[in-house]
Amino acid sequence: MIHGTGSALQIPSWQDELKRSFKRPSELLDYLHIDPRWLESPPVHDSEFAMRVPRGFAKLMEPGNPQDPLLRQVLPVAAERVAVPGFVADPVGDLDRSPLPGLLHKYHGRALLIITGACAINCRYCFRQHFSYGGQPAGRRLLPSALRYLAHHPEITEVILSGGDPLMLFDTQLQGIVERLSTIPHLRRLRIHTRVPVVLPQRITSGLTRCLTLSRLQPILVLHLNHAREASEALGQALLPLRNRGVTLLNQSVLLKGVNDNAQTLCDLSESLHTLGVLPYYLHVLDRVVGAHHFETPEYRALDLHREMARRLPGYLVPKLVRELPGEQSKTGLGMTDGP
């Protein structure tokens, strides 16, 4: 949970919006005028991986449509409780590549800090939904150890802040982490993986912009949009200060059955991202996490879709189609095709 740093501080509007989030399936379905009986799989209340949907994101959904692609991503349904062989709690092998609590060192030249377990929205396909965050986030107590590790590994030139979602921290908390990272001479780049601006555009404050752009580290913000409707006008306006200050903006998506497993849908997403000044980066084949089997698209279908994207779009709008496999030294590319 987010904790304040002083009673005199005014609560930012993004936190007000977060508090107003839908937390029960019945509330969200009532808001959208959807009868639960219309759903392919009945909604359920999951206490371990509870639903959380900011109202601004819910406004992007289509009322009365039980198959809305944005709704499908966030609504807990009974299909999640079906055990399917091959779907496991840690599908990408994060726990095996963690030399210290809160730090992952999987790939050469890059290390990842898990600085919080909190998210603004709980996506039902999340590969870390069963991750044990107890004692893991590199917060105030564990961060010094992680910083020492980074300082003693000069081959690491890029640090990735992840979670949960790192933008669930206060600007001042993020600023403290960035300032400490910038004192390590061999670090060059700071990458932040986040979905928060997509569902809470208000989170991109002037303080956050300063935090990301006043450091000597080159800032990269990797967003997570899966559908063109998520590329809202509010998000575009929120990203403008970051674009104007030279922050590299990328996007990674997950190929999800019933959400974006359609060539036109994927092409529309790439075009919408470009309008926002964001380049498509990765299109991930689903990580086979427990509870997400109903989102899986067969690999042959993923390859067909990727080839069709390459046929329709210029190369810079075609994301790399990848799968993350435990123990590999990089993401595994699938059908890497260059467009004209």
pLDDT in tens, 224-282: 999 999 999 999 999 999 999 999 999 999 999 999 999 999 999 999 999 999 999 99
Amino acid at 128: R
DSSP state of 317: G
**pLDDT tens, 62-71?**
999 999 999 9
Amino acid at 247: V
Q: 211-216 long-range CB contacts below 8 Å, 24 or more apart?
A: 211/171, 211/174, 211/175, 211/178, 212/178, 212/242, 212/245, 212/247, 213/242, 213/245, 213/246, 213/247, 215/178, 215/179, 215/181, 215/182, 215/190, 216/182
Residue 173 is predicted with a pLDDT of 94
Question: Is residue 339 over pLDDT 90?
Answer: no
Closest listed residue to residue 270, CA positions, set 217, 308, 318:
318
Residue 94 is predicted with a pLDDT of 73
pLDDT band at 140 (very low <50, low <70, confident <90, very high): low
Name the residue with tokens 């609504």.
Answer: 75
pLDDT band at 141 (very low <50, low <70, confident <90, very high): low
| Max CA separation in the chain (angstroms) | 58
Closest listed residue to residue 73, CA positions, set 300, 286, 317, 318:
286
Reduce the DSSP state of residue 235 to 3 states and report it.
helix
Highest mean pLDDT among 42-46, 76-80, 128-132, 329-333: 76-80
Rounded to the nearest 5°, which phi and psi values hold at 159? -115, 135
Question: Is residue 309 over pLDDT 80?
Answer: yes
CATH topology of domain 95-333: TIM Barrel (3.20.20)
Taking the model in full, what pTM does it have? 0.92
Query: What mean pLDDT do residues 114-128 have?
Result: 93
What would the two tokens of residue 304 be? Answer: 């067909």
Helices (H) and strands (E) in the chain, counts: 11, 9
Residue 20 is predicted with a pLDDT of 96
Residue 324 is predicted with a pLDDT of 84
115 half-sphere exposure, CB direction, 13 A CA radius: 29
Exposure string of 297-327, with b = 16+ CB inside 10 Å and e = fewer, is beeeebeebbbbbbebbeeebbbbbbbbeee
Strands 189-193 and 110-114: unpaired
Residue 175: C-alpha distances to residues 163, 208, 237, 249 (Å) = 16, 8, 23, 19
Query: What mean pLDDT do residues 317-333 have?
Result: 86
**pLDDT tens, 162-221?**
989 999 999 999 999 999 999 999 999 999 999 999 999 999 999 999 999 999 999 999
Residue 40: C-alpha distances to residues 31, 67, 285 (Å) = 19, 9, 23
pLDDT band at 27 (very low <50, low <70, confident <90, very high): very high
- The residue extents of the domains of the chain are 13-81, 95-333
